[in-house]
Structure 1
Amino acid sequence: MNADHDPGALAARLPLRLDIDGGVPLAELTAAVNGVCQQAEDRTHSVVVLWLPTSSFDPKGWPGEISIQDANRWERAVRRLERLAAASIAVVSGACGGPALDLLLATDYRIATAELRLLLPVNDGHVWPGMAVHRLVNQVGVARARQLLVGGHDISAQQALDIGLVDELSSAASDALRAAASRLGRISGKELAIRRQLVLEAPATSFEDALGTHLAACDRELRRLHGRGEPDEERSARTGDR
């Protein structure tokens, strides 16, 4: 059967969708994120779409009554999403804070409506010191992150676009999503994961330490371009030593 007419093949190419409800317990959110990650890991060239709608949940009440073990499991789930071979897209509108903000900062491409307001979770005047702080520093720099953390102000959609926390503002989010999913679907996979990892590690890695990893990635790309397949571990190790 032609893959274009095979229902199973067609379904495998459709984006995986996860709707995030910030009002549910953290354990349920963690399970939901791990669930969609597992589905993505069982596919090739998949795209994960996270819908982060406006919620009656108060993002500044994050994280609520949880244990440190709950926080650890949540952070590991978000990190799992961030490191998928699948491309990830977030569609966000209205107030976005707490778990929605964590997930937004872990995605590859971010589409927002003009109503977006990013809210840093604050309890008794103190910002929640989760990994969203780490990602903010990596993504907008120390100075800008310091201003956001100390100021404690909401971030408007235009401000989020200007500083790179979202990639696109759209009044037709569904249309923007279809275009982004089509574009990212063509590059989703192990090659995207390798390049994403290089980007994520760059701020904390010296040139000398990063050189071997980048050369190994270049060797892999040269082999792909010339149809020679993936390098074996031994060759990658030798390349990394040069």
Structure 2
Amino acid sequence: MKDVKSTVSTIDGQPEHEDLTLRIDGSRPLSAEAVAAVNAVCDRTEDREGQVRVIVQLSGAPQGEWAGELTVPLVSKWERALRRLERLPATIIAIADGDCGGLALDALLATDYRIATGSVRLVVPVGDGATWPGMALYRLASHGAGAAAIRRAVLFGDPIEAADALALQLIDELTDDVESALAVAAERTGAILGSELAIRRQLMFDAATVSFEEALGVHLAACDRALRRAAAKAVAVA
């Protein structure tokens, strides 16, 4: 769980981007080490604003009695770490394989672009006669509570199969060639500045709950920022 590594890649002449890789095993119970691993990759990403992609490798789902040692403070720290992850000034790309539940499902739903193999299944953990009521339920329900596959997953713990996950846009693509899919995704996102991505991601999140009048000022501020950046670039080139 504590395995965080980095590599450096160049995409079509763009400046070098450091790829930070975070591996999360959903079969493991939540621990302080898991929280620390997510926070560590967040620290490194924030230190390298605009020059980093985060690759989150996900697999595994809880088995048996997995929640016995959990505490509310630990769960709170985990959810806050994931919230920090999904607000990073960087593109967050997930690679999911096989059953993904527990920590793996939590992290998957906090990423920007989601690649999965054909064997993937999204699994809401079940324990003591009920599904785990963590924030994965919130993210799934806010995505599409009316979808039958999501409703069955949230209420009964039925796995969401790969085809349903793709149809419901819980994942972006299914592939047998993860390396090629990752290269294409990296090329697609390579020209986007991390700080600007973070602003637009937040605007997208807010759109579901903020009125037009409230949103207008924030969007105008973002437009002003974009125009100022373009003007500064033009002056630098001249």
Asked if these proteins are the same fold (TM beyond 0.5), I'd say: yes
Structure 2 residue 89 is the aligned partner of structure 1 residue 114:
no
3-state secondary structure, aligned to 1:204: coil
Identity of aligned residues (%): 49
> Which one of 226, 230, 237 corresponds to residue 225 of structure 1?
230
C-alpha deviation, 1:147, in angstroms: 4.5
State the partner residue of 1:142: 145
Match of 1:58 in 2: 62
Kindly indicate which of the two structures has a greater share of residues assigned to strand: 2
Query: In 2, distance between residues paired with 1:12 and 1:186?
Result: 11
For the Cα contact (< 8 Å) 1:117–1:154, is it kept in 2?
yes
Instruction: Report matched runs for 1:137-216 at 5 Å.
Output: 137-138=141-142, 140-144=143-147, 145-216=150-221
Offset, 1:153: 1.4
Match of 2:83? Answer: 79
Note if contact 2:30-2:103 (Cα within 8 Å) is conserved in structure 1.
no
Q: Name the aligned partner's letter for residue 31 of structure 1.
A: A
CA offsets, 1:190-220, max 9 Å, x none?
1000000011111111222211111111221
Contact preservation (8 Å) 2:121, 2:161: yes
Equivalent residues of 2:98, 2:117 under 8 A apart: yes
Moved more, 143-152 or 43-52: 143-152
Unaligned runs of 5+ in 1: 1-6, 230-242
CA contact (8 A) 1:61 1:122 kept: no
2: distance between equivalents of 1:58 and 1:50? 18
The aligned amino acid for 2:53 is: V
Residue of structure 1 in register with 2:136 after alignment: 132
What do the CA deviations read for 1:35-89 (whole angstroms, capped 9, x no partner)?
Answer: 1111111103210001113x3x526755441111100110011011000001100
TM-score, normalization by structure 1: 0.82
User: Normalized against structure 2, the TM-score is what?
Assistant: 0.84
Residues of 1 paired with 2:196 and 2:22: CA distance? 24
- Alpha carbons 1:110, 1:168 under 8 Å: kept: yes
Give me the whole-angstrom Cα distance separating, in 1, the residues matched to 2:220 and 2:196. Answer: 14
CA distance in 2, matches of 1:112, 1:63: 26
Separation in structure 1 between the aligned mates of residue 18 and residue 217 of structure 2, nearest angstrom: 36
**In structure 2, what is the Cα distance between the partners aligned to 1:109 and 1:14?**
17
Are the counterparts in 2 of residues 62 and 121 from structure 1 also a CA contact under 8 Å? no
CA distance in structure 2 between the partners assigned to 1:69 and 1:32 by the alignment: 17
| CA RMSD in angstroms, aligned pairs only | 2.4
**Distance in 2 between the 1:184 and 1:225 partners?**
19
Give the Å deviation of 1:24. 5.7
Distance in 2 between the 1:99 and 1:59 partners?
Answer: 12
SS of alignment partner, residue 94 of structure 2 = strand
The structure 2 residue matched to 1:68, chosen from 57, 63, 72, is 72
- SS where residue 223 of structure 1 aligns? helix
The structure richer in helix per residue is 1
Q: Secondary structure at the match of 1:15?
A: strand
Q: What's the CA shift for 1:224? A: 2.2
CA distance in 1, matches of 2:161, 2:129: 20
Q: Note if 1:105 corresponds to 2:109.
A: yes
Partner Cα distance (1:61, 1:211) in 2: 48
